[in-house]
Structure 1
Amino acid sequence: MKVFWFILCLLLTFFDYAIGAKILAVFHAPSFSHYILGVKLLRAVAEKGHHVTMISPFPLKNPPKTWRDIVLEDLTKGFSFGNILNLVTMSSYRKEIMINAAGSELVQRVVTHPSFKNVINSNETFDLIVLERFMNEALLGLSHRFNAPYIVLSSTGYSRRTNEVVGNPGSTAYTPDLYLHYGYNMTLWQRFHNTFFYCFAMLHKHLVVLPKHRNILKETFPDAPSLEDLFYNTSLILLNAHVSVKYAVPSVPNMIDIGGFHVSPPKPLSEELKKYMDDASDGVIYFSLGSIFLSKDMAPEIRNTILRVFSKLKQKVVWKWEDENSTFSKPPNVRFEKWVSQQDILAHPNLKLFITHGGLLSNIEAIYHGVPLLVIPIFAEQFMNAADIESLGYGLKLYYADITEENFSYLVNELLNNTRYKENIKLRSKILHDQETKPMDRALWWIEYVIRHKGAPHLKSVTLNLKWYQYFLLDVLALAIVIIVFTVAVTVICLKRMFIKRQKPKTD
């Protein structure tokens, strides 16, 4: 009998090992929206029986049984981007420099945090590392430290930051930079500027940014290989992207689109808010500028301009307003909510328009529920998102600095009264829903695929084996020039000799 139980325990242990991988995830960005995206994915991984250790600035409420939080307390204490509104008018070049500097500082804070050091100095083992692609090159040393493959999650979809790690051909002809205000359909000047900015960003990265990360890597993981060896060893990149959201672009086999995986079935609204929206016979407008820039920090003159426009509408308005003690007056058709479940309110059948900052999660949620968008971009990739939304015809954009009563009123009424925006986003919604597998199921399958195949090196693009001059065919170009010059030189010499021979007088 004892032998039976011993064998049973061994079998159960083996079974647990076979289905329950140990996964270390690091989502160090101080943005709660980035954290939520990571948690949505990794919670599902844990609920499948895998053991997830999550390192982040935030604790998870009601975690699964196989979940462990490593909270980076006070990670961002004394750290600030300053007034977010300053970023609206800041040049793309200054943004690139500032964001990269902030990224280096954040990584330095992570690797020197006691909770992080406890993990890397422990005797633990992990089967997989999951990281967000967020200016964190030095953290790739975790893959060497635990001798485990790593997967990257990109919250912003396709960009130069994602293309470069897997050797994807992301040409500047059709891939606008995150910090520019261009969509995929660029003019000649925009393509020129986009290419010039790309060259600037690459120079800044190699001359300024990567040296900082190399130093952090060497200090934190002294035995790790070069940063380049780690950087180009990505097993898989999961992209918060889908063809319903933007234009279709090329991708290599280990780039997997999972856009929409964070969308959950709608839950009931509070009774009071549900009644407010149910009774809106002319529909409801929802206004939220996300979690980084808060509506309460809006300039009073801009706020009053928007309220005047709202007061003239027959629709009701739900505005995510974070200050419960505001003393200014608002129109009777405007309702302030400190917090509301965005996905649930977007699912309400009476919602007619979503006024948003243009964050990718918000855009995908709006497409999922078929709600036209008015985008007021504030930060990072939101300007690019706004340009694509307008180009694809399921919304319009308005820059914060251009908000006037006339502009805001025109755009709101255009979106409410012109049916083409609703028709276009309904088409996009149909494309998003019509997939062979659910995005979350696809993400989970590929994560387990990488674990089963020990990093799945066979998925990596052959372009990663090329030197940069080989990738851009500069050596081929040089050889072609040599051949042409040699051919021309030989031809010229032969012609000269023939000419001289003909010109030489004959002797008797």
Structure 2
Amino acid sequence: MAHQGRYFLTGPLACLLLGFFVQPDVEGANILGVFTSHNPSHLIVHMSIMKALAEEGHNVTVVSTSQPKVTHKSIKHIVIPRSAAEEKVISDGLTTLAKKKPSMVTTIQNFFGSLSILIHKQVDVLEDKRFTDLYKNKDNKFDAVVFGLFFNFYQAGLGSRFKCPLIVSWAGPPMVRINDAVGNPELIATVPGMNVAVLPGQAMNFKQRLANFGSSMVFRLLSFYLEMLNAQFYDRLWGKDPAMISYEEAKKNVSLAFCNSHAISEGPIRPNVPAVIEIGGIQIKNKPDPLPQDIKEFLDNAKHGAILFSLGSNLKGDHIQPELIGKIFEALSSLKQNVIWKWDDLKNLPGKSSNILYKKWLPQDDILAHPSIKLFITHAGKGGVAESQYHGKPMLALPVFADQPGNADKLVQAGYGLRVDLLTLEVDEFKGAINELLNNPSYTRKVQQFSKLYRDRPMSARDSVIYWVNYVLRHHGASHMQSPLVHMNFIASHNLDVYLLLSAILIVIAVISTVVLEFFWRKCCGGKGKSQKTAQNSKIKKH
């Protein structure tokens, strides 16, 4: 049978035309990033995504509450800063946390303490005129919105607000809120949470599964509370706007979720739906930038190697008890290695030593790439751990709060470093851990082996960001790859209604079977048995 009206092309021309129609050009799309979290390390991850998109040729606008360390010359940046009073709340909260042993309890206390104020502050940012002008100005048109997740899922309404696809950026591996947003399965028995350390590929034992179940239930309860807050915030922002969809619908409107993880190397091994895109190490450069001259000379002249000491962007020197700072200085100043120490108040130093260079800000990734660095002393934040693993540097962890204790336990278990309790730190213990890491090559060997796994990917984190954002743009939100789990309630997603129906059927069958069997038993055996029993009783009476 002839195929009327059909024409077939082969060879390079066909490939060219197919590529033209299948993958339309999306260069120069207008992309908005909204990052209202107070956390500088989160902003580094988010801005690394936006920088990749700007380098690809997209027109990028970013709204944040602080000036980013990662940026690009073509990114239009709108900063809506926190007030001095809000900054003080953050500082006071971190000071309190730094004086407590890290645990689930302290994390929850922080959640209802200083962190609660910052959760509410994020709503204020979206009510600021500098932000509302972005959608009230009819000349503005955005093709996609990326928002940073930090207890603020009401911002899922930004997709409806700007009438474009919505992408979530999260600074860690997939977790409850991400899983709910894209229909990713929640696997409590096989996927350890942030506070349970299990080597990749290994199953949790009973104690670990019990701990994982407990922490999962706690986070579920917190999520339930957060959902009530999110619904209130959503109603406050857009509840009276008839052009906006409901919060329940907005929650189902996520096209992609970028997660700062790499399960194949880091673990845990788990199934992810297509909308979860792992971009672990997105902030790490393939080629380090040149170091500032003073840092370069300090590292180049380190005859015995060098150590990088940083407790992250949140924790500052005045958050830690002075006697602990004194002990840390005593240990570090006695080493033969050079030490770069991140310290915020350069007018009030812990002490002076020829082997210590204090810097208020550090290009951490570039420093860790330098061959003189032999050890990284860290608070075990996700970003810093990833950078150290990428560059093959062993670590000494001093965790303080949130996911840091879990990250520290994981790196110790994997053999990439050691952990010391910051609150009970003693000079000999601290210095002993440093010398063990410097003199025992097994730590360096193991982390360098991991580095090979971490780098071995079919597509770099940067290329993954570019490809999948362009994919969503090409396919107008890519709703075809959304998991049906997003549109199912708890009963349907767990088949509880099916199990209930099957249980009811089995109960009915059991009842009917019992009645039928009893009926036949009486008919077949009941009368005969009764006659025999009556005869036996008569004989007994005669005797």
TM-score normalised according to structure 2 size: 0.83
Answering whether residue 402 of structure 2 is matched by residue 386 of structure 1, we say: no
Find out whether 1:118 has 2:133 as its counterpart. yes
Which residue is 1:154 aligned to?
A: 170
2-structure distance, mates of 1:365, 1:375: 14
Q: Distance in 2 between the 1:495 and 1:402 partners? A: 73
Pair member with larger Rg = 2
Q: Residues 333, 228 of structure 1: CA spacing in aligned structure 2 closer, same or farther, 3 A cutoff?
A: same
Query: Where does 1:313-328 land on structure 2 (aligned, <5 Å)?
Result: 313-326=335-348
CA displacement, residues 336-370 of structure 1 (integer Å, 9 cap, x when unaligned): 23333212221111211100011111111111211
- Distance change >3 Å, CA 228–CA 189, structure 1 → 2: farther
Report the AA paired with residue 83 of structure 1.
G
Aligned in 2, Cα 1:217/1:356: closer, same or farther, shift over 3 Å?
same
Residue 63 of structure 1: how far off its partner (Å): 6.6
Q: 2:66 aligns with which of 58, 66, 74?
A: 58
Alignment correspondent of 2:93: 83
Secondary structure of the 2:62 match is strand
Shift of 1:312: 4.3
Q: 2: CA distance between counterparts of 1:75 and 1:136?
A: 20
Deviation of 1:253 after TM superposition, in Å, equals: 0.8
Measure, in 2, the Cα distance between the counterparts of 1:477 and 1:323. 62
CA distance in 2 between counterparts of 1:187 and 1:465 reads: 33
One-letter code aligned to 1:466: M
Q: Secondary structure at the match of 2:133?
A: helix
1:10 alignment counterpart:
none
**What's 1:228 paired with?**
248
Q: What pairs up with 1:16-415 in 2 under 5 angstroms?
A: 19-59=27-67, 66-74=74-82, 77-78=85-86, 80-81=89-90, 82-87=92-97, 88-89=100-101, 90-98=105-113, 101-102=116-117, 104-123=119-138, 124-178=140-194, 180=195, 182=197, 186-206=204-224, 208-221=225-238, 222-223=241-242, 224-242=244-262, 243-264=264-285, 265-326=287-348, 329-415=351-437
| Alpha-carbon distance in structure 2 between the residues aligned to 1:68 and 1:225 | 28
The aligned amino acid for 2:265 is S
For 1:405 and 1:174, how far apart are their aligned partners in 2?
A: 40
Q: Is the 8 A contact 1:288 1:295 kept in 2?
A: no
Query: Matched residue pairs, number?
Result: 491
- Partner amino acid, structure 1, of 2:223: K
The answer to whether the Cα contact below 8 Å between 1:254 and 1:459 also exists between their aligned partners in 2 is yes
Please give the secondary structure, in 2, of the residue aligned with 1:73: coil
Contact 1:101 1:209 in 2 (8 A): no
Q: Deviations over 1:315-354 (max 9, x none)?
A: 2222112222236544543332333321222111121110
| Letter in structure 1 aligned against 2:423 | A
From 443, 446, 457, the equivalent of 1:435 is 457
Q: Distance in 2 between matches of 1:430 and 1:234?
A: 33
After TM superposition, the structure 1 stretch with the greater mean CA deviation from structure 2, 116-125 or 160-169, is: 116-125
Q: Deviations over 1:47-71 (max 9, x none)?
A: 3222222111234699756532222
Find the aligned partners of 2:107 and 2:93 in 1 and give their Cα distance: 16
Q: 1:150 to 1:302 in 2, by over 3 A?
A: same
Alpha-carbon distance between aligned partners in 2 of 1:288 and 1:100, rounded to the nearest angstrom: 23
Q: Does the C-alpha gap of structure 1 residues 438 and 219 become closer, same or farther in structure 2, counting only changes over 3 Å?
A: same
Alpha carbons 1:375, 1:386 under 8 Å: kept: yes
Name structure 1 gaps, 5 residues minimum: 1-15
**2 CA distance for matches of 1:329 and 1:225?**
58
| Range with greater deviation from structure 2 (388-397 or 363-372) | 388-397
Matched residue SS, 1:353: strand
Partners of 1:76 and 1:498 in 2: CA distance: 86
Once residues 211 and 83 of structure 2 are traced to their aligned partners in structure 1, the CA distance between those partners, rounded to angstroms, is 36
Task: Find the counterpart in structure 1 of residue 496 from structure 2.
Answer: 474
Matches of 2:276 and 2:374, distance apart in 1? 35
SS at match of 1:440: helix
Q: Aligned pair in 2 of structure 1 residues 371, 62: CA closer, same or farther (>3 Å)? A: closer
Question: What's the secondary structure of 1:19's corresponding residue?
Answer: coil
Greater shift, 459-468 or 307-316, is seen at 307-316
Q: CA RMSD in A?
A: 2.7
Hey, what's the Cα distance between the residues in 1 that align with 2:185 and 2:345?
A: 46
Instruction: Give me the identity figure in percent.
Output: 31
Q: Secondary structure at the match of 1:286?
A: strand
- Secondary structure of the residue aligned to 2:94 is coil
Partner of 1:503: 526
Q: Is the 8 A contact 2:107 2:401 kept in 1?
A: no
1:70 aligned counterpart, secondary structure = strand
Matches of 1:313 and 1:248, distance apart in 2 = 40
Residue number in structure 2 paired with 1:4: none
Shift of 1:102: 3.8
**C-alpha offsets along residues 367-394 of structure 1, whole Å, 9 cap, x if unaligned?**
1211011111123222221122122221
